[in-house]
Copies of this chain bind each other. A is one copy, B any other.
Amino acid sequence: MQGNSQQQAYDRGTNIFSPDGRLYQVEYAREAVKRGSPTLGVRFDDGENAGVVFVAGGRLRSSLQVADSIEKIHKTDDHVGVASAGHVADARQLVDVARRQAQVERLRYDEPASIEALTKEITGYIQEYTQAGGARPFGAALLVGGVDDDGSPHLFETDPSGTPYEWEAVAIGGNSDEIQDYLEAEYEGDADADGALELALRALADATEGGLQSRGMSAAVVDESGYRDLSGDELAETIEGHGLAADESEE
C-alpha cells in the first residue's frame, strides 16, 4: 500500500479526518493487525453444551523459544476468554483492560459482566485512542468470547476503530479474509466443542501452506464449565488426528 501525496496530507495525525471523512491512522492500525498471524473464534451450541473455541496461529522465532510463551489467548474471567491478533504488546494492554474491567463489573454488580458489556467497555477504551491527540490507535484486534450467565454463548470482535462486532465464527489477523471464506462455507451452528475446534483448525490449515505446526499455536475452549487452555500435546494430537499436521521433517 503506497501513500500518495493527497493521502499523506491527512494520515499522520489520529485526530484529523481526510476530506472524504476517513481516519487514515485507524486504517493503518488495521494493517498492523493484518501483519500478525491469524486468530479464530468459533461459537458452538449442540443443545447440551454451548461455548466458544479459540485457535491462534503463531510463529516461533527460534527452536529455543518456549512455545507456550506466544500467548494469544487469555482467560479474563471464569467464563470469558480473549484472543488477539496484531501488535502483541498493544494486545496485551487491551487484555489487561479486559481483566480489570471484568473485576470492576463483578465488584460493582456482584455478578459477572455479560460478554457484550465487557466488549463495549473495551471498544470504548479503544475509541478514545482514535480521537484524542497525543497517542496512536491500538494496532491490535481482539476476540472476546464466552458464556453469559443465562448460558448463551457469545463471540465479539473489537477492531482498531473501537467498533464491536458479534460473530458466529470469525478470523482476525493475517490471511483473515481467506479463512473467513472457509468459515462461511463450512460453519454449522449446532456443532459441539470438538466440532468447532475441528472447523477452526481446518480453516486455519486451509490458509497455511504445508499444514499446521502445533508449536507456536494455541487453543482454548470456554463453555459452561469454564475456560480451559488446550495443552500443547492435546493440540498436537488433535491436529494430527485430523490429518492437518505439517510434515515435521520440513520444519
- List residues of A whose CB falls within 8 A of some B CB: 1-3, 6-25, 28-35, 61-66, 68-70, 87-90, 92-93, 96, 120, 123-124, 126-139, 156, 161-170, 180, 183-184, 187
4 closest A-B pairs (Cβ-Cβ)? A69-B166, A21-B31, A21-B32, A89-B162
Return A210 CB to nearest CB of chain B, in Å: 21
Answer whether A161 and B1 are a contact pair too, CB < 8 Å, given A133-B135, A134-B15.
no
A–B complex contacts, Cβ < 8 Å, 7 sampled = A3-B6, A15-B135, A16-B28, A63-B184, A89-B127, A89-B163, A93-B128
With a cutoff of 8 Å between Cβ atoms, the chain B residues found around residue A2 in the complex are 6, 19
Contact indicator A69/B16 (Cβ below 8 Å) = no
Complex Cα spacing A131 to B32, Å: 14
Contact indicator B21/A139 (Cβ below 8 Å) = yes
Answer whether A3 and B28 are a contact pair too, CB < 8 Å, given A126-B89, A170-B64.
no
Grouping DSSP codes into helix (H, G, I), strand (E, B) and loop, the A interface class, with mixed when no group exceeds half, is mixed
Contact indicator A28/B32 (Cβ below 8 Å) = no
Contact indicator B21/A16 (Cβ below 8 Å) = no
Complex Cα spacing A34 to B22, Å: 11
Contact indicator A25/B16 (Cβ below 8 Å) = yes
Q: Which residue of the partner chain, among B3, B6, B90, B170, contacts A127 with CB atoms under 8 Å? A: B90
With a cutoff of 8 Å between Cβ atoms, the chain B residues found around residue A167 in the complex are 62, 64-66, 69
